[in-house]
């Protein structure tokens, strides 16, 4: 089974999200002390930079932009995009699952607010909803 046929499940606050495993480079834990919070770009939700493989990568925190109450966010998902590697702060990793284990649905009208959003699909796994995180909306330009 290849990485694109598996998904990584995680939470920001109490909201479940997922990404295709092929976008994941690494899961980093206990990153709070490692983030340089002096490198900030609020318009792109960049809250700092993290040393990763001899370079500094942007750290994105979507909790405020999505209006989610986040706990102690000490885990980062290092993700790959066309702009290179970047880190997403998450509250916790739920685990991995295969694509057939999830039931995909279109995004309900209730969640289709106008303006910027970083998710466009809903999937159910073990009775719990998870939003598909659109990585290009989260960081690739990140413009609302």
Which CATH superfamily groups domain 3-138? CheA-289, Domain 4 (2.40.50.180)
Is the distance from CB of 95 to CB of 130 less than 8 angstroms?
no
Say how many CA atoms lie within 13 Å of 78 toward its Cβ.
Answer: 17
CA distance 101 to 85: 28
User: Per-residue pLDDT for the chain (144 aa), expressed as one digit of tens each?
Assistant: 565 689 999 999 899 999 999 999 999 999 988 999 888 887 777 889 999 999 999 999 888 788 888 777 789 999 998 778 999 999 999 999 999 999 999 888 776 666 667 888 899 999 999 999 988 888 754 444
Burial letters for 55-86: b for 16+ Cβ neighbours within 10 Å, e otherwise? eebbbbbbbebbeeebeebbbbbbbeeeeebb
Domain boundaries, the chain: 3-138
């Amino acid at each position: 089974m290849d990485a694109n046929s598996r998904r990584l499940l995680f939470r920001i606050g109490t909201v479940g999200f997922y990404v295709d495993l092929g976008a994941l480079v690494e899961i980093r834990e206990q990153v709070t002390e490692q983030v340089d919070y002096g490198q900030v770009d609020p318009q792109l939700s960049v809250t700092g930079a993290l040393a990763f493989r001899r370079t500094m990568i942007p750290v994105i925190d979507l909790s405020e932009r999505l209006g989610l109450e986040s706990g102690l966010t000490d885990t980062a998902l290092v993700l790959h995009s066309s702009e290179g590697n970047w880190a997403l702060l998450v509250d916790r990793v739920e685990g991995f699952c295969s694509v057939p284990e999830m039931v995909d649905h279109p995004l309900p009208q209730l969640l289709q607010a106008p303006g910027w959003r970083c998710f466009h699909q809903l999937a159910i796994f073990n009775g719990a909803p998870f939003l598909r995180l659109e990585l290009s909306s989260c960081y690739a330009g990140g413009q609302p």
